[in-house]
Amino acid sequence: MNRKWQVAKYITFDIVGVFVAWLLFTYFRSSLDHGLSTLEPIPSAFFIKHYFGIALYVIFWIILFSLAGFYNDIFRKSRLNELGNSIGITLVGTLVIFFILMFNDVVLSSLYYFKLFYTLFLLVFALTYFPRLIITSITIHRIHSRKYGYPTIIIGEGEKALELYNELQAQVKSQGYKIVGYVEVGGETENRLAGVIPCLGNFKSIASIIQTNRIEEALIALDSTDNKSMLKLINDLLCMNIIIKAIPSLYDYLTGRVKMSEIFSAPLFRVSFELMPPWQVKVKQLMDLVIAGIALIVLLPLIIVLCILIKITSRGSIIHKQERVGQYGKPFTLFKFRSMYFNAEASGPALSSKTDTRVTPLGRFMRKTRLDEIPNFLNVLRGEMSLVGPRPERQYFVSQIVRIAPHYIHLQKVKPGITSWGQVKYGYAENVEQMVERLKYDLLYIDNMSILVDLKIIIYTLITVFKGKGV
Same domain, 412 and 332: yes
Quote the CA–CA distance of 335 and 381 in Å, as a whole number: 12
Q: What is the 3-state secondary structure (H, E, C) of 377-444?
A: HHHHHCCCCEEECCCCCCHHHHHHHHHHCHHHHHHHHCCCEEECHHHHHHCCCCCHHHHHHHHHHHHH
Of the candidates 411, 388, 392, the one whose C-alpha atom is nearest the C-alpha of residue 459 is 388
Residue 284 sits in the same domain as residue 264: no
CA-to-CA distance for 94 and 106, rounded, in angstroms?
A: 19
Query: Cα separation of 437 and 201, whole Å?
Result: 36
Dihedral in degrees, nearest 10, Cα atoms 119, 121, 123, 125: -160
Residue 335's beta-bridge partner residues? 321
201: in domain: yes
User: How many domains would you assign to the chain?
Assistant: 3
Tell me, yes or no, whether 471 lies in a domain. Answer: no
Domain boundary among 83, 109, 144: 144
> What CATH number is attached to the domain comprising 169?
3.40.50.720
Question: In this structure, are 97 and 157 located in the same domain?
Answer: no
Beta bridge partners of 320: 336
Mark whether 204 and 299 lie in a shared domain.
no
- Domain annotation covers residue 211: yes
Give the pLDDT score at 7.
Answer: 92
Strand, helix or coil at 121? helix
> Do 137 and 159 sit in the same domain of this protein?
no
Q: Are residues 126 and 227 in the same domain?
A: no
Q: Is residue 69 a contact partner of residue 279, using CB atoms and an 8 Å limit?
A: yes
Domain assignment of residue 259, yes or no: yes
The dihedrals phi and psi of 119, each to the nearest 5 degrees, come to -65, -45
Domain that includes residue 427, residue range: 278-343+352-466
Of 221, 239, 271, which residue is a domain's last? Answer: 271
In sequence order, what are the residues at sequence separation of 6 or more whose Cβ sits closer than 8 angstroms to the Cβ of residue 456? none
253 and 228, same domain (yes or no): yes
Which long-range CB contacts under 8 A does 50-57 form with residues at least 24 apart? 54/19, 54/22, 57/18, 57/22, 57/97
Query: Residues 276, 450: contact at Cβ < 8 Å?
Result: yes
> Taking Cα atoms as reference points, which of 323, 364, 304, 376 lies closest to residue 340?
364
Give a yes or no: residue 103 inside a domain: yes
pLDDT of amino acid 255: 47
H/E segment holding residue 219? strand 217-220
Contact by Cβ (8 Å): 160, 222: yes
Is residue 367 situated within a structural domain?
Answer: yes
* Residue where one domain finishes, among candidates 223, 247, 271: 271
Question: What does each C-alpha distance from 206 to 201, 210, 233, 238, 456 come to in angstroms?
Answer: 8, 6, 10, 12, 38
% helix, strand, coil for the chain, step of 5: 60, 10, 30
What is the pTM for the complete model shown? Answer: 0.68
State whether 300 and 425 are in the same domain: yes
Q: Is the dihedral of CA 190, 195, 197, 198 positive or negative?
A: positive
User: ∠ CA 372-373-377 to the nearest 5 degrees?
Assistant: 140
Task: Please tell me whether residue 178 adopts helix, strand or coil conformation.
Answer: strand
Q: What is the DSSP string of 77-115?
A: --HHHHHHHHHHHHHHHHHHHHHHHHTTS----HHHHHH
Under 8 Å CB-to-CB from 141, ≥6 apart: which residues? none
Is 203 within a domain? yes
Q: How many Å apart are CA 102 and CA 107, to the nearest integer?
A: 9
- 282 and 262 in one domain? no
**Distance, CA of 263 to CA of 243 (rounded, Å):** 16
Same-domain status, 328 and 460? yes
Domain identity same for 116 and 49 = yes
> Phi and psi (nearest 5°) for 243?
-85, 130
pLDDT tens string, the chain, 471 residues long: the values are 678 889 999 999 999 999 999 989 888 877 776 654 444 555 555 555 667 778 888 999 999 998 888 998 888 888 888 898 899 999 999 998 887 776 666 556 678 778 888 999 999 999 999 999 999 999 999 988 888 889 999 998 888 889 889 988 888 888 889 999 999 887 666 788 888 999 998 888 888 999 899 999 999 888 765 556 666 777 778 777 888 888 765 444 454 444 555 544 566 777 766 788 878 888 899 899 999 999 999 999 999 999 999 999 998 899 999 999 998 888 999 999 999 888 777 677 777 777 788 889 999 899 888 899 999 999 999 999 999 999 999 999 998 998 888 888 888 889 999 999 988 888 777 888 888 888 989 988 988 899 999 999 999 888 877 776 655
Q: Is 146 left (phi over 0), alpha (psi -120 to 50) or beta?
A: left
Asked if 34 and 103 sit in the same domain, the reply is yes
Residue 48 CA, distance from chain mean position = 38
3-state secondary structure of 305: helix
In a domain, 234, yes or no: yes
